[in-house]
Amino acid sequence: MEYGFELLKKERSTGARLGRIKTPHGEFSTPVFMPVGTRGSVKGLSPADLEEIGVDIILANTYHLYLRPGHELIGSLGGLHRFMNWHGPILTDSGGFQVFSLCGLRKIDEGGVRFNSHLDGSKCVLTPESAIGIQEALGADIIMPLDECTPYPADREYALNSMNLTHRWALRCKAAKSANGQALFGIVQGGMYGDLREDSARTLVDIGFDGYAVGGLSVGEEKALMQEMAYAALRHLPEDRPRYLMGVGAPEDLVFGVEAGVDMFDCVMPTRNARNGTLFTRRGKLVIKNAQYERDPSPVEEGCSCYTCRNFSRAYLRHLFMSGEILAARLNTVHNLYYYAGLMKEMRSAIKDDRFEAFKKGFFEDRALTGRE
C-alpha cells in the first residue's frame, strides 16, 4: 500500500478535520495520537497491549536508535517493524529535538550537528542526509527532516537564523530521500514570532512535502503563546496534507489542536505520567499515591473499559505504586493510553456528526465538576 492522505470532512463550525492516512503498513483515521516508543518500545507495553488499547501508529526516535543498537543492525534484521514486532505504521522523529536537549554537548553549523553521545561520550555527527539515511534503514512509514528546534526564549535574530537553517536542511533532506514509499513531512519553525511561523509554513509548502509538522512548541512557553504560534502556522498549511503538532499532548491541548485543524499528535505525557503515578480521567488527573485511595475499591474511572479498570482497584494500584512494583507502571500506562485513544475516538465521532463544539463544551464541563480528582 502506498502512502496517501484523504481529507474526509471538515467540521462546519470549527477547523476540526476528519481524515485517513494510508501507509505501507496499514491505514489509520485522523485526528490521531501517537504513543512515543523512543527506543523501539512504548515503555512497559508489548505490541499486543497496544493493539488491544486501540493504538494505530507509534513514534520512534532516530537519535536514540542511531546510537543504540544502530540503524545498520536494525536494517539488517528487516527494519524496525520486524525488529520490534509491530505491524502497524511507524513515524520516526529525525532527532532534532533530542539534539536540542543536549545543549552543551552539541554544536550546530551548516553541515549538521556534532554532538557527544549521552551514552558514552563518543563523538557523533548527524547531517540532513544521514538523518534521512538512518530513517530509510529503519524503514519507518513517515519520516522527518533534520531541523533545529529553536530554544525558548530566543531573540528574533536567533529565531530567524534557526528557521532559515531548518529550511536549508529541509531542502537537503528532500533531495537525499530515495523513492522508497516513505512519506517525508516538513517541519515549521520560527520560535515565538508569528510572522516567522507564517513565513516558515509558506516556505515549506513551496518546497513541497507529503505532510507538515509544527515543531518547536511546548518548550517552556505559556499555553496561550503556544496556541497563537500553532495557529499562525496552521492557517498557511494546505488542506490536502496532514498536519502534525509535535510534542504537544495534554488532553486540553489535544482538544485545542483538533479544533484548530491538527491531524496528528505525539507526546510522552500519558506514558511518563503513568510511570510517575498520575492517571488521566474525564475529570482530570488522579494521583494514585494519595492516601485517600488506600482503601478505595473503585477502578481508576467508572465506565472505563481498559484492562486496568476492568480488573483492578485504586487501592491495588496504589499498593503497587507505593511498593515500587514494575506492574504499577504497566497497568497505569495501559489506562492512560486507553484514555488518550478514547479521547481521539470521541473527537473523530464528534467531527463526523458536526458536534465538535458540543463535545468541547462537555469536555471542559466534566473537568470543572466539583469533587475533581
Residues designated catalytic: 93, 266
What b/e string do you get for 245-266 counting C-beta neighbours within 10 Å, with b at 16 or more? Answer: bbbbbbbebbbbbbbbbbbbbb
Say how many C-beta atoms besides its own lie within 10 A of residue 14's C-beta: 17
Distance between CA atoms of residues 141 and 137, nearest Å: 11
Name the 3-class secondary structure at 116: strand
Give, in order, the Cα–Cα distances in Å from 262 to each of 125, 216, 255.
33, 15, 10
- Residue 85 corresponds to which cell in the numbers above? 514486532
Give residues with Cβ within 8 angstroms of 275, minimum separation 6: 43, 44, 329, 332, 333
Helix axes 326-352, 314-322, angle to 10 degrees: 130
Distance between CA atoms of residues 131 and 145, nearest Å: 7
Closest CA to 4 of 187, 214, 254, 210: 210
- Residue 343 corresponds to which cell in the numbers above? 479521547
Distance between CA atoms of residues 165 and 28, nearest Å: 33
Distance between CA atoms of residues 144 and 184, nearest Å: 6
Report helix, strand and coil shares of the chain as percent, to nearest 5: 45, 20, 35
Say how many C-beta atoms besides its own lie within 10 A of residue 186's C-beta: 30
- Residue 88 corresponds to which cell in the numbers above? 502497524
Q: What H or E segment, with its residue span, contains residue 51? A: helix 47-53
